[in-house]
Structure 1
Amino acid sequence: MEWLSAAWLAVGVFILLAYTLEAITGFGSIVIALSLSALLLPIEQLLPVLVPLNIGLTGYLAWRYRQAIDKPLLLKLILPGMLLGTTAGYFVRPYLDENLLRQLLGVLVLWFAGRELWRLRSATVASAHPLWLSRVLTLGGGLCHGLFASGGPLLVYALAGSTLDKTRFRATLVTVWFSLNSLLTLAFLADGRLSAALPHIALFAPLLLLGLWVGETLHHKVNERHFRIAVYWLLLVTALILLWPR
C-alpha cells in the first residue's frame, strides 16, 4: 500500500525523532520532521499530516499552562503578524514550484541551525529588537508558517531579548502554534487535503505519545547541550541537501 511505503515509514521515524527532541528540549517538532521528510516526499503531501498531529501536543500544553500565557504579548504583537503572514503563505504556496519550496525551506533551516550552533559555541545573549523590527520578523514568521508550518525560528528570533521566563515564554508560543495549526488544519479540511492525509495521521498518532515518553525518559540521562548540537548539525546537513540542485 502506498501509504505504508518505505518513504512514509521513514517519515514515521523522523516524527518519532522530532517529538522525542520536543520532549527533551522543547524544540519545535515540525521543522525537524518536515525538513528531514522533505528529502523523500513533496512538502504538499507532508503538511496535511504533520500539522494536525501537532495540534494534540500544543493544545494539551496550551491548556495545561494557560495561566502562564502572556496575553498582551500574544494578542498585540504575535498573533496579528503571524495570522496575516500565515494566511498569505497558505494562499501563495500553491503557486510555488516544489523545488523552490524545498530550497526556501533549506534556507530557513540552514539559517536557523547555523545561528543556534553559533549561539551554543559563543554563549551569546540575545538582545531585544526595536518594536518595528519585531513586527516585521513576526510577519515573516507567519509567512514561513503558512508555507512550511515552521514559523518558530523567525518568531523566536523576533522575540529575542524577551523578559519572559521560560514557563511563560513556552506557554505563549505553544498557544501560537495551537492557534495557527488549528487554522491550517481547517484550511486543509476545506481544500480536501485533510481527508487524504487521515490514514497517515492515524498511523503516526501513537508515535507522538511514544516520542514524549522516550523524551521524558532521556531528559535526565542525556546531556541536553550535546543532544542539541547533534540535532543542529543534522539539520545543517539536511538543509544543504535540500539546497542542492536537482
Structure 2
Amino acid sequence: MTPELIILLTLVCVVTYTFEIVFGLAGTIIMVTLMSYFIDAQVLVIYSALPQLLVASIGLVRTPGHLNFKTLGTMLLFASFGAIGGLWLFYYFSADVFRVLLAGAITVFGLYLVIAPGRLQLTPWLRRFLDTLSGVSQGLFGISGPIAMTRLLATFDNKTAVRNHALAFFLSMNLFRVVGYLLNGTFSVEIQEAMLWSAPVLAVSLWFANHLHFKVNEMWFRRVVAWVILAGGIAMLLT
C-alpha cells in the first residue's frame, strides 16, 4: 500500500467513521464501498477492525450514561451463537442465497422504521431472532449494524442509549474478530503499516467528532438511522 493510498484511506475513514460515531452504524459499509476501487475489499475489511475499535472505545469513554448489561449480555450471547452459525454457513452454504434473505429482512425492517417510526414493537422471540441474525450476519459478512440497530431502536427510547449499546455490542464482536485475526496471522505487514500511520489521526479526529452526536436531536437520529438501514437493505438486494 503506497503512502498516497494510506493518506487517502485515512481521510476517507475520518469522514465515514465520524458518521458512525454520531449515528452508531454504516462507517465500514461506506468506507469499503468507496475504497474498494483502490484497495482489495478483503484488506479493507481486516483493516476496518482498527477504526471500529476506536469508534466504540472513544464513543463509550466520552459519553455519559450507563449500559444495561442484562440487555447487552443477552444480545451478545445469542449473537455469539449466530456468529458460530455464520462461520459454518460461510463454508457450507450459498452466501448468495443468505445475502438475499438478509437483504430482504433488512429492507422490511428499514421500511417499517421509515414509515412508522417509534412503532416497532418486539416480542421476546423476535428480539432473540434479531440478536441471532446479527451474529450470523457478522460471521458470514462482517456486517451486523442494520440488524442490531433495528433491535436497539425498538428497545431504547433515548438516542444516546441506542448508540452506546450499539457501540458496546460492536466493540465486543470486533474484539472477537481481532482475536481470530491474530490467531490466524491475518494482519499482514501492509495492513499493520496502514494501521500504524492512520491510528493517531483517526484517534484524534474521532475523539473530537464524538461531540457531534449530542448536536443531533432525537427525531433526526432515528430518521437517519432508519433511512440508512433501508438503503443498506436495498443496496444488498441490488448487488
Normalising by structure 1, what TM-score?
0.71
Counting aligned pairs with the same residue, the percent is: 16
Matching residue of 1:85 = 82
Q: Distance in 2 between matches of 1:86 and 1:15?
A: 26
Matching residue of 2:205 = 210
How far does residue 48 in structure 1 lie from its aligned partner after superposition?
Answer: 1.6
Which residues of 2 match residues 68-107 of structure 1 at below 5 A? 68-75=66-73, 77-90=74-87, 92-93=89-90, 100=96, 104=99
Q: Secondary structure at the match of 2:187?
A: helix
Change in CA separation of 1:85 and 1:36 when aligned onto 2, cut-off 3 Å:
farther
Matching residue of 2:183 = 190
Gaps of 5+ in 1: none
Picking from 167, 172, 181, the partner of 1:174 is 167
Which residues of 2 match residues 31-110 of structure 1 at below 5 A? 31-38=29-36, 40-64=38-62, 68-75=66-73, 77-90=74-87, 92-93=89-90, 100=96, 104=99, 108=103
Number of equivalent positions: 234
How far does residue 34 in structure 1 lie from its aligned partner after superposition?
Answer: 3.0
Q: Distance in 2 between matches of 1:91 and 1:43?
A: 21
Q: Distance in 2 between matches of 1:173 and 1:164?
A: 14
Kept in 1: contact 2:60–2:168 (CA 8 A): yes
Gaps of 5+ in 2: none
Amino acid at match of 2:23: T
Q: Secondary structure at the match of 1:68?
A: coil
Kept in 1: contact 2:58–2:210 (CA 8 A): no
- How well do the aligned residues superpose, as a CA RMSD in angstroms? 4.3
Q: Secondary structure at the match of 1:126?
A: coil
How far does residue 194 in structure 1 lie from its aligned partner after superposition?
Answer: 1.9
Amino acid at match of 1:47: V
Change in CA separation of 1:217 and 1:176 when aligned onto 2, cut-off 3 Å:
closer
Q: Distance in 2 between matches of 1:11 and 1:104?
A: 27
Q: Distance in 1 between matches of 2:92 and 2:17?
A: 31
Matching residue of 2:125 = 132
Cα-to-partner distance string for 1:97-133 (whole Å, 9 max, x where unaligned): 9x959x939x74x97588657745x463232222112
Q: Distance in 1 between matches of 2:234 and 2:197?
A: 25
Change in CA separation of 1:216 and 1:27 when aligned onto 2, cut-off 3 Å:
same
Change in CA separation of 1:193 and 1:242 when aligned onto 2, cut-off 3 Å:
farther
Q: Distance in 1 between matches of 2:141 and 2:117?
A: 28
